[in-house]
Structure 1
Amino acid sequence: MKKVAWLTVIGVLGFIYIASSIPDLRVLPVLRHILDFTRSFDVVFLRLSEFIAARLPVEGGSSYLAPIDTVMQDFLLYIRRNPAIIEFFLRKLAHIIVFFTLTLVLFFLLYQYISSKALSLFLSFTGGFVFALLDEIRQSFVPGRTGSLFDVMINMVGVSLGILVIIFALIITSGERYRYFRPEGIKKELE
């Protein structure tokens, strides 16, 4: 189990290092390649969407989803005119997902060596912060990239979400869950 934990942490850190080392990294060109690949699946998704749309309830000749369709059309029009917004949000979402994953695998690794859940959580949070900070400092030396405290904060959103998921998982899998989820426990808490 310890080997798997080490390999996973090294793999995530390696991914972060490689992704941060790419000069002038842009998400949209990569997405265009993925889009070209997925166009072969369009027929399947088209048939599936037609199947679902045919079964949606219609009230007075208009679909319940008409307002959502209007909002989506406006949103898509705005995005086509401003693709930099999509680039920005996708990059920040990637930061959150990667550092969320890093926090989970760090906790998994640390808990193999440290029996204290609280200490493992603290070290996972601290490790996530240190890696976020070091990654942004290192990016400032990559051509076409910048280090940003804003990105460190975005990374910490991912770290914090990871910590919350771990805490929730620990509560669910421990005997403490009965204190929160049993009707008797709820009554005692309210008294």
Structure 2
Amino acid sequence: MNNLMVFNIAAVFCMTLFYLAYFYKQFRLAQQGIRTNRLARGPKPTRTKRVETALVAATYIMAVIQYASAGLSGYLGGFSLPKDVRSTGVFLMVIGVAFFIAALITMRDNWRAGVEENQQTAMVVQGVYRISRNPAFVGFDLLYLGSALAMPNIVICLAAICCILILHQQILEEEKLLPSLFGPAYLDYKKHTPRYILFL
């Protein structure tokens, strides 16, 4: 088995674990009558709805590109990167999966994709949310960046950049609404906890 195949297999494993965790959480909460996917649904400002619609489309398109890159990279403008760089990509994917699953576990029944003005959720500040206000988004970013390094081609690199930028816009939209949901407690949390991680 050559190095290329090893990186591809590792990347596919990480992606599959990530997406299975996402849909499993949706399924478990749906069994409790909780609809977790609130992206581009319900009454929302026009800009928020546009960002969320773009996020939904980008997420599904990126997943297709990621899996296609594992076997069809040559058709997507594939290029070579040093083994260490590709190993770093897989490592970032592993960290991304860990961040995402930790966020899902910590959020418990409060996890939602998208924010609504009338949602009945509690503000979560423990666990991985002590070091990041958006650990699930950090997980997505690391998965996208890591997959672009592990299975390099022009299409996945461009898609990763687009997805990360759209995710950032989604965070900004959510930050406009969260103070009205959680009041001063959120503003204090925002002041003391980074948007992403460390100083970011």
TM-based fold match above 0.5: no
Larger radius of gyration: 1
Question: Which structure dedicates a bigger proportion of its chain to helix?
Answer: 1
TM-score (normalizing by structure 2): 0.31
TM-score (normalizing by structure 1): 0.33
